[in-house]
Structure 1
Amino acid sequence: MAHAFKFAVLSLALLLAACRSDPIHYHTLIPQQPAAASSADVLLEQVSVPPQVDRPQVVIRQGNSSLAILETEWWGASLADELRNALVNQFASSSAQPRLGLRVEVQRFDSVPGQYALFDARWRLRAGNGGALLNCRSVIQTPAGASIDELVLAHQQNLKRFTELVSQAASGGASRCPALR
């Protein structure tokens, strides 16, 4: 009888250990340090993201053709909402200049732990009065460490560089697409 009781207790302990789930970690694309006000007053009109990565869970690329959805690593919102909030944060400005409308169509948002974070987007900048129109494409890649935190920081850096490019175009009269430096 004692062996049956020990077996039952051991079985229960193993069952409870198997049911244990790892905690969920939440990440944001909004940097901890507030953004410096951009030199141009940009109104973010629209952000679109590929459906493969537009989800609450962080999606990483594995090899040439595989994606992995990380069930314990989540964005604070869907990726499209995270990007929208981060860009609005970066463009926060109190300037009295006329607003410029910005539409961003993300082509690729790759996360490769231990290698890089990639932001590839087509974007359109236009004057609020229906004036000049500029269509550009920016591909920004930043080396990333192996952890998800390091990967998110690399994505934050990509967005900072992206907003600098858009601000540069907006400040220059939006006559041509700026180049990465």
Structure 2
Amino acid sequence: MNAMIGRALMPALLAAALGGCATSPPVHYYTLLTPDAGPHAPVPAAGQPDGGKPPYLLDILPVTVPPQADQPQIMMREADGVVAAYYSDRWTAPLADEIRGALSYNLVRDLGVLDVQSINAPANAPLWRVQVDVQRFDATAGGEAVLDATWRVRPVNLPGRTLLCRSLIHVPMEGATPARAVSAQQKATVALAGTIASGIQSAGASARAGSDAVQLKGCDGA
């Protein structure tokens, strides 16, 4: 009797399970790459004639991020300090790759040079090697996104100085959703790229804030 009842209920249970799957919320994917706002005129690299060969290349090394931020989900602090993971809102790539990709895109665009980290540049090629260690990368719902990073630019096969700096970036969020958090984090990453670009443009002599959101917490040249 019980077996007959079980067989009778099986289709209903299966339908309920499938119905639950059908109502699962869709997953939204985000990237730190900002939408292209149209033609952008890069600042010519020092010594580069208009339309000529860039005098150096970029070698942007893999970015390091703190373990608590290195999650596939969008992470956001709530008002009570709890960090919430938004399982239906995810990065399109591992966070370290997202940050490196966004920095590469903006540095290449701003400086008008090439990033050769993924290919083998000639051994004697002049280049600036860029290293970034992200120490904080988070957002508070209804508050701000914070990007705290120590970075270094070092000349290879060309004149210049090694420059080591820390940049602390605060960008207000215009809401409390994952999409708003990503938008603020995009702006913070663009500002960091602009700050790093200034260090390269000065040949490692100094750096200037890439936007009003950036605080330079000290630079050490060598």
TM bucket normalised to smaller = 0.7 to 0.9
Q: Does 1:126 align with 2:142?
A: no
CA shift for structure 1 position 88: 1.2
Q: Give me the whole-angstrom Cα distance separating, in 1, the residues matched to 2:197 and 2:68.
A: 29
Select which of 73, 76, 79 maps to 1:57: 73
Select which of 11, 24, 29 maps to 1:26: 29
Q: Does 1:157 align with 2:160?
A: no
Uncovered stretches (5+) of structure 1, i.e. residues with no partner = 1-7
Q: Give me the whole-angstrom Cα distance separating, in 1, the residues matched to 2:43 and 2:104.
A: 11
Select which of 139, 159, 165 maps to 1:136: 165
Higher mean C-alpha deviation, range 110-119 or range 26-35: 26-35
Q: Give me the whole-angstrom Cα distance separating, in 2, the residues matched to 1:90 and 1:102.
A: 13
CA shift for structure 1 position 94: 4.3
Deviations 1:41-87 (A, max 9, x none): 53211310011111211111124642111110000011111111111
Residue correspondences, number: 175
CA shift for structure 1 position 14: 6.1
**1:39–1:167: 8 Å Cα contact kept in structure 2?**
no
Output aligned runs, 1:65-104, within 5 Å: 65-92=81-108, 94-95=112-113, 98-104=126-132
Q: Give me the whole-angstrom Cα distance separating, in 2, the residues matched to 1:109 and 1:22.
A: 26
Q: Give me the whole-angstrom Cα distance separating, in 2, the residues matched to 1:108 and 1:166.
A: 17
Correspondence for 1:172: 202
Q: Give me the whole-angstrom Cα distance separating, in 1, the residues matched to 2:188 and 2:203.
A: 23
Q: Give me the whole-angstrom Cα distance separating, in 2, the residues matched to 1:94 and 1:30.
A: 17
Q: Give me the whole-angstrom Cα distance separating, in 2, the residues matched to 1:160 and 1:94.
A: 16
CA shift for structure 1 position 95: 3.7
TM-score normalised by L of structure 2: 0.68
Q: Give me the whole-angstrom Cα distance separating, in 2, the residues matched to 1:66 and 1:146.
A: 14
Q: Which has the larger radius of gyration?
A: 2
Q: Give me the whole-angstrom Cα distance separating, in 2, the residues matched to 1:10 and 1:43.
A: 59
Percent identity, aligned pairs only, is 33
CA RMSD of aligned residues (A): 2.8
Q: Which has the higher contact order (CA 8 A, sep 6+)?
A: 1
Q: Give me the whole-angstrom Cα distance separating, in 2, the residues matched to 1:111 and 1:38.
A: 31
Change (3 A) 1:21 1:160: same
**1:46–1:102: 8 Å Cα contact kept in structure 2?**
no
The amino acid across from 2:135 in the alignment is Q
CA shift for structure 1 position 177: 3.8
Q: Please identify which structure carries the higher strand content.
A: 1
Change (3 A) 1:10 1:45: closer
